[in-house]
Structure 1
Amino acid sequence: MARSNRVGRILRHVLSLSIAPAAVACGIDTEGFSVVTCGSDRDLSDVRTAEELDFMQLVSIDEGGPSEEPRVVATFGTKCGSASNVAMCEAAIAAATSAQGFRLGQCVDFCPRHILVTNKGDEVEVLETKEAVLDLIRPIDTAVEAVLAAELAEYHVSCNDADEGGVRASGSGFDVLGTRYTEICDPIVRELYLLRINADGNVQEIESEVIESESGACIGRRPAGLARRKARGTTRVGAYLASVAHLEAASVDAFEALAAELAHHGAPRALIQRAGIARRDEVRHARVMRRLASRHGGQFRAPIVAKQAPRSLEAIALDNAVEGCVRETFGALVGMWQARAAKDPAVRRAMRRIALDEARHASLAWAIDEWIRPRLDAAARERVETERRKTLEIVEAEACAGNDPALVSTLGLPDGDAGERLARHFKVAVLALSA
């Protein structure tokens, strides 16, 4: 098990390489985009339609819940400007609604629906699907239409924010900067996208980067069946530490289940024993992190883990490659960084011990990988390696996004530049280990 025995030394080497800064580009270049300006209302003034209309009105039909009154979001033109019966026309516009409606931007919690009401002469029409709206505004030949197409594709385009919302002409179409949550439970991940919008309103993702990641998931090994529970606290630092304590406590279950599964599949006694030792380590880690979280106003929430039947060797290998060989191993590296960088001396002391333990857990992950790999067929080994590489890319993107300044200062978590260096050198090391 030569690979697993080298993990600690390799992590120390990666840490030493990452301490020296390096100028490496990280993220989408937002230069050249025009900011999407808007106040309380949206802008429909630059929406061009094949048939000239008197009036358009965008309405949110359940802004605060199904019982809420419709709210006018934007208008353009003169209501019933050429109608023969203005009163009847205005009444039809006021009564316009739908049981369907379309979404604008991403739906995360409550999802408001919209309709677009159009008027020409005495005719009032309700557009209640995104396809109907796109049919109205095609071809997409203005910046406002390109932004609307991106929002109809459920991307959020920020107003008055050059880093998270913008539009520019690109060939015969437009580029739009939009954001979307790609994970809404631990970790909570928000990504920025460079979107290309063509004349038909088709939206293509050209590039993406993680711009927000609230995650304690790199610390400890998450068990199968773990219920997602968002951490709480009176401070940002406390909430983060409570999240870490939650995941450390969940790792107790993870290693208990892993030991049982290894025994079920006839693994060497040494691997089973090491999983048992890791379980005891995680009991201590959870206790330490709970104390630190409490000091900073964090509220610990005990993990809820549903019992799982023993998994197949391939399922164990896939989980081990993601949670152990990548996330847990990177967590050990981040812990080493925190042991040097945290301003809170209690955090530095805690991370010195925890990082050493996590490095041993990482070595166990690679030892399990080494034992399982020959027992899988070629197709299964390829699937495991694909998941490992995919997770490496995710971890690199998360690290590049950096952490909240309070977490960087107090807890020593890496900022974007340091995270990029750690992830870049880590990726090279992991690919070498898995070769």
Structure 2
Amino acid sequence: MYDVLILGGGAAGFYAAIHIAEADPQLKVAIIERGKEGLGKVKVSGGGRCNVTHAEFDPRELVKNYPRGEKELLGPFHTYCSGDTVAFFEERGIALKIEPDGRMFPTTNSSQTIIDCLVSEIDRLGVKVLRNSSVTGFAKVFEDENQDSSIWSVETIRGAYNAKNLLVCTGSNPKIWEMLKKMGHTIVPPVPSLFTFNIKDDRISGISGVSTYARINIVSSKGHLDKFHAALKKYSLQLSDLETEGPLLITHWGMSGPGILRLSAWGALFLNELDYKFTIRVNWLPSYYEGSIINKLQQIKELEGKKTVLRTKCFDLPKRLWSSLVKASGITEADKWADITKVQLQDLAKELTECQFRVDGKSTFKEEFVTAGGIDLKEINFKTYESKLNPSLYFAGEIINVDAITGGFNFQNAWTGAYIAAQGIVKNTKS
């Protein structure tokens, strides 16, 4: 008999186990992990560097990075926030660094540093990890005929285990969600949240690797108006909800980068409704709009008349991107500023500030597969992360309907939920 069984040996599962064992060393705790190792997402996150958290330390600002969970996470972040995560690792000798965009990584630039820290703590605290043990079912069973006390029985491919408390940290696992549905929980259907856009367009063909800051928004297009507006209405969205700014990376298959990923997260349900076929508008120069850029181009035309348009560096844009947009405006390599027509000038202004691309499908962002969906947030007590329907059943991590705009924010949701669930479990065992 265990005091606590934790399903899922990921970030949330390990973090919760550490905090439970530290708070009460007498408790018997075990993690049930279906794989050989566990912590798989920690290993691949941030390109193998592990985006541990984000340098946003104000809970009110931090919650703005969660398309699902913004309201519910405010209280938990006041209890346990990014600064607490940083302190946890630094107290264990793991220094973190802040990158210009606010992402935080171990100074070693290796996710193995974080894995080693978590595994070392689990070993030090005597938490058992039952590996290669896929869960086949779990249920609450009563210890006596009067049904005065109950325990959790967990069936795995390697045997059965009992516990007084059950913490489920299995991430986006359809099999576990199905088991929870049978126990009365509502599961919000999962859809991908962080993904890149598949685009085939001559303007970005052959310039993969180019990165620049841009404003991106999703717009309606001819032939898809009805479906577009129906999806807006279904999810109570305004067009302003489907706009973002940030670094945009041109890839072999289309577009990626923080700006695109942020848009994919905020538009996750909406874009799923559109079957990932939609139109985006890119402003490559966010400080300008079409009217103001025409005036700027006219000034350049008058000042640089003898120079070729292609070789003139007018704006802070990557050369290959500038060249591509100039050619898309019908301007050749030999054309000088003095020779371009009013129409060409207008076309160039449009390409720079109102550049439209048709998106046809999505691709997973590296190995970081994140979903929107999971246990309905109304069914969770966010003061303890305990189920409102099933006492002594707790949740943490991506299993609940919370997701964020980048991996570091998703990890912070896992650390916070795991910590608060751990405190709730320890308190429950003492009552």
Please, what TM-score do these two structures have when normalized by structure 2?
Answer: 0.24
The one of the two structures with greater contact order (alpha-carbon pairs below 8 A, sep at least 6) is: 2
TM-score (norm 1): 0.23
Structure number having the greater helix percentage: 1
The structure where strand makes up a greater share of residues is 2
